[in-house]
Structure 1
Amino acid sequence: MMKDEAPFLLEWYAHHLAVGFTKILVYTNDCSDGTDDMLIRLEELGLGYHRRNDIPEGVKPQPSAMKYAQAEPKVAEADWILMFDADEFLCINYGDGTLDPMLDAAGDANGIVITWRIFGSGNVVDWSRDPVSEQYLYAAPPTWNKGWGVKTLFKFDPDKWKIGIHRPSIKNKHLETGFPDTVKWLNGSGLPMEDYFKFRGWRSIRRTVGYQWAQMNHYAVKSIDSYAIRKLRGNVNNKKDKYNADYWSLQDRNEVYDDKILRYTERRKQIMDELLTDPVLARLHWAAIDRVEARLVEYRKTDDYVTLKASLIEASQVPITKIVAKPPKARNPAEIAALMSQVEKSNASRPMNERRTKPEAGFADVGEGGDGFVPGQIDVSAETAVEWIDNHGIALPADVRIFAQNTLDLVMRGKYQRRLARRIGRMVEDGEKLLDLGAGIGFLSIFTAKQLPQVTVIAQEDNASRMHIMRSILAHNEAALGDRLCMTTEQVVFPDDAKTVARINQMIADEKPDVLRASYAQIGAKLLSRVDLGTVKRIVLTGPAIGTFLREYPQIDAPVLTPSEELSMPEFVIIMPKATGQP
């Protein structure tokens, strides 16, 4: 569905032909910039279809267009359909980036639920004729749940399905039949969706989100100038004052660099250049560009533009942790139960472990012995507003690129590693030397050095990006700890346990620590039993290392913790070496 998209239309059209769609059907309403004429010409060239969205009084444009599409023969003839907007570009990460290999891999599945990636302005202010998909390459982190709206690619049967904005719904007459059992939908990583999504929901959740197969790049704002023009022309659904500064701060997310869509650049350019060989399309396209640029020249002279630009620049400084999306409608279990079909009730009565899937590693919480960080190397190079929160006297970046969601919640509340911080004196005595293996972003290392002025800490971390973040935390806090805090990214953990043991032995021999603190999952008690502890008086296991310890020694009962403590295992374990130097 479109309204006044002429300057962007051919890129959007060419991109989705490059993706592999064979038919494109567009409904338009109230266009004044030539969008209708361009679509009519594209239909004359056999590249798609255009329909007028004649909107009945009292009906909004989107529901009106969906009603027409429900009865449209061209839609009913399609093998697969996907409903999306002019500011959404499908990016297939599977295979060569085209539809057919992904659909082949889907096997007998009849739907793929594709989650948004929210792309911001990339701090671009001025209007440009450059392609949207090349200009805007900064986005919200994939783990940001406010950006997890979906669009659904599915096999359509007008008798059984009712088309929807984010996903279709099963028609009531088929709810109590065996049809719901035939619905097999996959998420954006090709993994089975949970059964509830057959019936309800329009967003991914931590257990269902995934981008390994596909993502829907959502360019809701573009540059400030593009946004200004969009505000002038209105939107496809006639929402009053939609394009304000609040909407901008929600959608202008530039935390991470994502250039996956550039895989289409060459093919999209070839198609677009070919489209522009048609004199009618070329005339309409360039006229639309000239028209919008002339309008922008005039608008820039007004006080309204100056005010809007200033408000958007200010809105760009809102950290992602302070973004407040439109509050969801309060959940009413009784109302939902009353609406549920018998097949839904039957599904809801199944054991939870049968109904719920395990989230992918990148979207899981810190539980089950995790370290609370986003997996892998963390890229925080993009310029974006980040809120710094005091945690036990140390300001930490509340950055979704760094922390898993429930760990981020603790950072936001100033309670990151609260119990470990409170009990630091049980781990290390003042005047001792601490070798910290797997220091992460260095919070405990920094905290220990600050709290115990005679302690020396050697902080080691295999993940170089986390050590980089540790240095930024030191700089932000202006923490002058001198040679009492040493940092190294010299690798400790290897696939070969013998090599890991040899490396730890060497570090102990070189540093002669009194305390060895380890968080790596690979460093359990069994591996430590092979280490030459030398000067070590005390071993402290934290984080994933505790999970390993408890799996190796299940006969040791973990303390029973109340739900309010938000933990499923001890926060640390102290091992005292015997006189022989072995634990």
Structure 2
Amino acid sequence: MMKDEGPYVLEWVAHHLAIGFTDLVVYTNDCSDGTDDMLIRLEELGLAHHRRNVIPEGLRPQPSALNHAGAEPVVSLSDWVMVFDADEFLSIRHGDGGLEGLLGDAVAKGANGIVITWRIFGSGGVQDWSPAPVTEQYLLAAPKDWNKGWGVKTLFRYDPEHWKLGIHRPKIRSKWLKTHFPDQVKWLNGSGREMEDYFKFRGWRSITRTVGYDQVQLNHYAVKSIDSYAIRKLRGNVNNKKDKYNSDYWALQDRNEERDETMLRYKTRRDALIGALLEDPVLAELHHRALARVEARLSELRTSPAYHELVTGLQAASQMPIGQISAKPPQARDPAKIAALMSEVEKARSASARTARKEAPREAVLPLPSGNYPQQPRAPGPEGPRGEWVLNHSLRLPLDPDLFSAPALGAIARGKFERGLARRLPQVLEENARLLSIGAGIGFIAAHLARLRPDLSQLIQEEDPALRAGLIQVFAQNEITFRPALRLEERSLSPADLPGYIAAESPDALALADGRISPADLAAILGAAAPAQLFLSGRLLEANRDRLAEYEAVLQAAGYLAVPGFDPGLTLFRIRKASPPDKPG
């Protein structure tokens, strides 16, 4: 569904043709910038199908378009179907980034649908309008495990006899609910894992048990630049939602905590298609007219006080920490109302699924790899970290989204940051031990140990300059001073430097949390040094989830035994079984 998307039409069409869609059916309503004319020309060229969205009285544009699409031959004769908005671009990590491989893998698993979770992409601090491709301009996104951004769209095998189209997912027609048809539905999530049974009937968001981004995600560019947002706010939207584009909506959608450049893999294919489209003189003229309209509209807007007031408000909204964002006004969950809406089949299946989970719990899903820190932390300014300082165990930490990920901010707000390590580590370290920490992050554990275990001698190292700067300020805020028994390494260390460096320091306990350390690097370290206690945690595990078996093999070969007491999904704790040959005892 599109309304006044003229500047973006060619990129959206070219991108989705490039990844393998064969038929694009676009419904437009009330366009004033030539969007409909561009799509009509694309249809004349055989590259898309344009349809007018005739909206019955009392119905919103988007549901109206879906009703029309349900009776559209191009849609009903398609094998796989997905419902899109113009600010959504499919991003495939699977294989070569094409639909053919993604769908082939799903079919090989016996699946007939893929539930694809949104990844919210923000403005990246861009204010000015630019005609450059959206998927190149905006490369900063919300963390993967920020659940407020977990809306979904569904790519599925379509059969109009059994399915009614929906915005986020199709709905099984009522007459098939009490048949065997629901048993034939097998949908996967974005990581290729089977969805839970309840999602066959309802739901439009992923939950912790079902979210996945490993193979495919849906990039949602809801805001773009401030200028783009200003134009959109005054344009209206396909759902006619009153005052949707306000500062609260901006704060929700302008998430820039992590960098994601996956879309750049399509640049060559997409640009070639855009170039070919612009060779058509009619389409080229329509495209450039749409760009000119934007420039003219912005020239007009920039002279108005309302524009400058909006810009000021949006810039302020961008500073809202992700941990303080509210997706919608709080609305109490009403189990009775939900139960009343559920069919008898859903109720029975829901009860059965709950029983099955209790009797045979599913294998735990590994946490998403956002961890405690953003992909690109930003160092605090001279005034110190942003946000309120909150007590966590023995220390105060700042609610600073420049230094911490969204899940970490939530944990800090509850006083539970790195709770497992903070509780257990002081208990297991030997008396008067020499502890070396590589990848100390914000320094929370080191400072916590300095408070609780003054007998320890600690050397801490953090390669990321922003986290290192934050570490220094956290220590200062908590009045913890560096001294001979609590040293901060000044030098930069690469993984290749670590074996010699660690051997020279000869620690009793070694904590490794630097994501750059590979299994081969770990083997080199343990070939040069033999600490009695070894902890692998943090970014090392987050960045290398798919290689845990390799780390385990290295640890076993070096004579280290696993010891219970830590969450194995967060920390690998090992002790040396015996002194390796030719190593000190």
> Which residue of 359, 365, 368 corresponds with 1:363?
368
How far did residue 162 of structure 1 move? 0.9
1-structure distance, mates of 2:526, 2:289: 70
Residue 76 of structure 2 is aligned to residue 76 of structure 1: yes
Question: Could you report, residue by residue, the CA deviation over 1:76-115 in whole angstroms, capped at 9, with x for unpaired residues?
Answer: 0111111011111111111121111111111131111111
**In the superposition, relative to structure 1, how do residues 545 and 200 fare at CA in structure 2: closer, same or farther (>3 Å)?**
closer
Give the C-alpha shift of residue 289 in structure 1. Answer: 0.7
Task: Out of 327-336 and 84-93, give the one that drifted further.
Answer: 327-336
How many angstroms does 1:15 deviate by? 1.0
Identify which of 200, 222, 225 aligns with 2:224.
222
Task: Look up the match of 2:142.
Answer: 140
Instruction: Tell me the SS of whatever aligns to 2:435.
Output: strand
Per the normalisation by structure 2, the TM-score is: 0.79
Mapped partners of 1:540, 1:547: distance in 2: 10
Question: 155-164 or 324-333, which moves further after superposition?
Answer: 324-333
How many matched pairs?
525
Report the equivalent of 1:127: 129
CA deviation after TM superposition for structure 1 residue 414, in Å: 2.2
Contact 1:139–1:254 at 8 Å: present in 2 too?
Answer: yes
Pairwise CA distance, 1:331: 2.6
Structure 2 match to 1:380: 376
The answer (yes or no) to whether the contact 1:519–1:544 under 8 Å persists in 2 is no
Partner of 1:256: 258
Q: Which residue of 1 aligns with 2:487?
A: 486
Within 1, Cα distance between the matches of 2:165 and 2:13? 22
Corresponding residue of 1:579: none
How far apart, CA to CA, are the structure 1 residues paired with 2:166 and 2:289?
Answer: 34
- Identify the residue that residue 53 of structure 1 maps to in structure 2: 53
Q: Following TM superposition, by how much is the alpha carbon of 1:339 offset from its aligned partner in structure 2, in angstroms?
A: 3.4
Structure 2 residue aligned with 1:456: 457
For residues 498 and 142 of structure 1, do their structure 2 counterparts lie closer, same or farther at Cα, with a shift above 3 Å needed? closer
CA 1:165–1:424 in 2, change beyond 3 Å: closer, same or farther? closer
Structure 2 contact 323–406 (Cα < 8 Å) conserved: no
Q: % of aligned pairs identical?
A: 51
Spell out, residue by residue over 1:540-578, the C-alpha distance to the aligned partner (whole angstroms, 9 max, x if none). 9755499878xx9xxxxxxxxxxxxxxxxxxxx9x9xxx
Q: Note if contact 2:124-2:140 (Cα within 8 Å) is conserved in structure 1.
A: yes
Question: What residue in structure 1 maps to residue 444 of structure 2?
Answer: 443
- 2:446 maps to a residue whose letter is S
Contact kept, 8 Å, 2:440 with 2:446, in 1: the verdict is no
For 1:114-193, list aligned pairs within 5 A.
Answer: 114-193=116-195
Q: What is aligned with 2:20? A: 20
CA–CA distance in structure 2, aligned partners of residues 419 and 47 of structure 1: 56
Normalised to the residue count of structure 1, the TM-score between the two structures is: 0.80
Listed one character per residue, the Cα deviations across residues 430-479 of structure 1 (whole Å, up to 9, x for unaligned) are 9x454256775332211232456675323478xx56x9735522234435
Q: Deviations over 1:266-324 (max 9, x none)?
A: 11111111111111111111111111101101110110011001111111111111111
Counterpart of 2:357 in structure 1 is: 352
Distance change >3 Å, CA 383–CA 42, structure 1 → 2: farther
Q: Secondary structure at the match of 1:483?
A: coil
Structure 2, gaps ≥5 residues long? 500-509, 513-517, 538-547, 578-583
- Shift in alpha-carbon separation, 1:229–1:177, aligned structure 2, 3 A: same
Report the Cα offset of residue 399 of structure 1: 5.0
Distance verdict in 2 for CA 1:328–1:183, change over 3 Å = farther
Is the 8 Å Cα contact of residues 377 and 467 (structure 2) preserved in structure 1?
no
Amino acid paired to 1:330: A
Q: Residues 61 and 487 (structure 1 numbering): CA distance in 2 closer, same or farther, change over 3 Å? A: same
In structure 2, how many angstroms separate the alpha carbons of the residues matched to 1:159 and 1:420? 55
SS in 1 for 2:90: strand
Question: Relative to 1, partners in 2 of residues 1:498 and 1:103: Cα closer, same or farther, differing over 3 Å?
Answer: closer
> Residue 274 of structure 1: which of 266, 273, 276 is its match?
276
- What is the letter of the counterpart of residue 69 of structure 2? A
**CA 1:433–1:16 in 2, change beyond 3 Å: closer, same or farther?**
same
- Counterpart CA distance in 2 for 1:232 and 1:95 is 41
Partner of 1:469: 467
Q: Judging changes above 3 Å, is the alpha-carbon distance between structure 1 residues 44 and 540 closer, same or farther for their aligned structure 2 residues?
A: closer
Moved more, 269-278 or 442-451: 442-451
Q: How far did 1:49 drift? A: 1.1
CA distance in 2, matches of 1:336, 1:189: 29
State the shift of 1:129 in Å: 1.4
Q: CA deviation at 1:28?
A: 0.9
Give 1:9's aligned amino acid: V
Structure 1 gaps, min length 5: 365-372, 509-515, 532-538, 553-572, 576-581
Amino acid at match of 1:148: W
2:188–2:195 CA contact under 8 A, matched in 1: yes
SS in 1 for 2:114: strand
What do residues 203-223 of structure 1 show as CA deviations (whole Å, max 9, x unaligned)?
Answer: 111211111221111100000
Is the 8 Å Cα contact of residues 115 and 188 (structure 2) preserved in structure 1?
yes
